[in-house]
């Protein structure tokens, strides 16, 4: 029998990875690496690459070849004919070839792991380029929130900056993954691992505005095209390409917002461990990540440190106030708000001064919905769980349900203790 053709062996590797439920991105990564190596071998060999061509010497020549090769001039968005293939790309190709070689050894096609001693080239450690708050404001101002495309793009950019999901995770979001009551989205990250990503009130308002213009479609995805179809990665890429050119920014790409999100959250005081879970970064120290729900405290911390809070996008609150002004034009309006900062924006304050019939009232400190959730779980813990003894999860669930049934029999609603006179008196201070 003749020598084994490398692309045929690569197909066996692909089937093996599919059987292990590897992600499509992983399958594409291995396929691209082997394909480029075969093209390199065939360019000087003149025939198909075989198993014997997969050896340390050829792989090292392949590395040197990539280091001297410009990136593709057929790039779909931006051509860089003089820019070299990055060290990280070359490193990933070599790691893929090593994994392919290890599979061939385990599959009995080779007696030894051929590329065991071939080390991937070192990559240059670079500092991430970040956007300033002024640049982020300029980006948001490029979109008209009063139409489908503008509101959709603002919602996507807001979610990327606020929660830091990967673009692939953003595109896979379904409407059912959004929880507006608690303030999070459920994303499926690398390795098909699900996690909860906290979303601030500002980002939720952007998403809510977009949903008003979202076409009625059977597509389950949260973000869709004007025709109601799933949005592609290329579509998002083109949005950033146009923004970069129009605003004259040196650095702008979708993943940059993820870097900005992480940096701003840390600067604003979020715990690094919580942020690690939020972004879905793997770590040896966290061996049981993605098991169960993200703690409410983490979601609350992420929401409170959102960079969108510091942008003070006045249009968020003004849009709601203007809507009320249009729909209810003949009455005094008293708005009860959680103690929040968007009403302090200059544009909002000026608008309120011109519209005297709008009166704002704020819930007492510590009476927000998140505080109520924490109080309720404290009651549940102290009265139903802490002193109990449970032999199984089913027994614990049964005890919780029994407590809830008893609680609901005597449940009392929240009572507002201020009279109308007290509330109105406060407005004239």
State the DSSP H helix or E strand holding residue 336, giving kind and residue range, or none if neither: strand 333-337
Selected catalytic residue, list 14, 60, 166, 186: 166
Q: What residues pair up with 245 in beta bridges, in sequence order?
A: none
Q: Active site includes 253?
A: no
Residues 25-35: what's their mean pLDDT? 89
Q: Which of 258, 277, 303, 312 is catalytic?
A: 258
Alpha carbon distance 135, 296 (integer Å) = 32
Given a contact cutoff of 8 angstroms between Cβ atoms, the answer to whether 338 and 368 are in contact is yes
Work out the average pLDDT over 175-204: 85
In whole angstroms, give the CA distance from residue 361 to residue 374. 23
Cα dihedral 170, 172, 176, 180, rounded to 10, equals: -10
Please say if the pLDDT value at position 159 is more than 60.
Answer: yes
Residue of 255, 319, 344, 401 marked active site: 255
Annotated catalytic residue within 102, 190, 334, 359: 190
**Sheet architecture: strand order including 194-198:** 178-179, 184-188, 194-198
Residue 43 tokens, joined: 């360019």
The more confidently predicted of residues 344 and 202 is 202
pLDDT tens per residue, range 300-336: 566 666 766 656 554 446 777 888 888 888 888 888 7
Instruction: Enter the pTM of the model.
Output: 0.55
Active site residue 322: no
Q: Are 189 and 280 in contact (CB under 8 A)?
A: yes
Q: Which region among 55-69, 107-121, 143-157, 260-274 has the lowest average model confidence (pLDDT)?
A: 260-274
> Is 312 a catalytic site residue?
no
Catalytic residue among 83, 281, 347, 361: 281
| 258 noted as active-site residue | yes
- Would you say domain 6-106 falls under CATH 2.60.40? no
Is 166 one of the annotated active-site residues of the chain? yes
Least confident window among 245-259, 327-341, 411-425: 411-425
Per-residue pLDDT of 280-302, as tens digits, reads: 766 433 323 322 333 444 555 66
Reply yes or no on whether 290 is catalytic. yes
Give the long-range contacts of residues 385-394, CB within 8 A, separation 24 or more. none
Options 60, 290, 310, 343, the catalytic residue: 290
For residues 286 and 294, what is the distance between their CA atoms, to the nearest angstrom? 13
Domain boundaries, the chain: 6-106, 133-311, 315-362
Say how far apart CA 239 and CA 231 lie, in whole Å.
12
| CB 266 within 8 Å of CB 272 | yes
Q: How is domain 133-311 classified at the architecture level of CATH?
A: Orthogonal Bundle (1.10)
Q: With 60 as the cut, is the pLDDT of residue 192 above it? A: yes
């Amino acid at each position: 029998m003749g020598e084994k053709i490398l692309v045929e062996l690569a197909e066996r590797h692909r089937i093996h990875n599919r059987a292990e439920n590897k992600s499509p991105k992983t399958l594409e990564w291995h396929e691209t690496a082997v394909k480029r190596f075969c093209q390199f071998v065939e360019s000087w060999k003149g025939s198909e690459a075989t198993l014997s061509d997969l050896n340390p010497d050829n792989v090292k020549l392949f590395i040197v070849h990539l280091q001297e090769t410009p990136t593709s001039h057929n790039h779909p968005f931006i051509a860089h004919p003089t820019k070299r293939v990055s060290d990280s790309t070359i490193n990933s190709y070599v790691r893929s070839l090593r994994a392919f070689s290890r599979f061939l050894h385990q599959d009995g096609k080779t007696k030894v792991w051929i590329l065991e001693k071939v080390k991937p080239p070192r990559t240059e450690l670079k500092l991430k380029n970040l956007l300033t708050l002024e640049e982020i404001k300029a980006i948001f101002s490029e979109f008209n929130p009063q139409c489908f495309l503008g509101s959709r793009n603002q919602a996507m950019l807001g979610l990327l900056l606020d929660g830091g999901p990967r673009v692939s995770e953003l595109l896979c979001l379904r409407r059912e993954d959004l929880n507006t009551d608690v303030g999070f989205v459920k994303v499926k990250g690398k390795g098909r691992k699900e996690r909860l990503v906290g979303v601030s009130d500002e980002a939720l308002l952007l998403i809510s505005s977009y949903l008003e213009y979202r076409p009625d479609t059977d597509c389950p995805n949260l973000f869709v095209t004007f025709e109601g179809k799933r949005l592609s990665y290329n579509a998002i890429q083109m949005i950033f390409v146009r923004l970069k050119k129009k605003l004259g920014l040196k650095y702008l790409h979708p993943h940059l917002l993820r870097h900005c999100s992480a940096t701003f959250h840390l600067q604003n005081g979020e715990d690094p461990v919580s942020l690690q879970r939020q972004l879905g970064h793997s770590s040896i120290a966290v061996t049981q990540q993605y098991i169960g729900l993200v703690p409410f405290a983490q979601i609350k911390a992420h929401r409170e440190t959102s960079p969108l809070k510091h942008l003070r996008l006045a249009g968020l609150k003004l849009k709601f106030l203007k809507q009320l002004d249009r729909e209810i034009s003949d009455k005094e309006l008293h708005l009860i708000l959680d103690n929040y900062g968007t009403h302090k924006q200059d544009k909002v304050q000026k608008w309120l001064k011109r519209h005297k019939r709008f009166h704002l009232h704020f819930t007492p400190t510590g009476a927000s919905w998140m505080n109520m959730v924490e109080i309720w779980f404290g009651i549940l813990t102290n009265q139903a769980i802490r002193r109990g003894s449970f032999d199984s999860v089913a027994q614990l669930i049964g005890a919780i349900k029994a407590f809830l049934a008893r609680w609901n029999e005597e449940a009392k609603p929240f009572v507002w203790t201020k009279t109308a006179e007290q509330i109105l008196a406060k407005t004239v201070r």
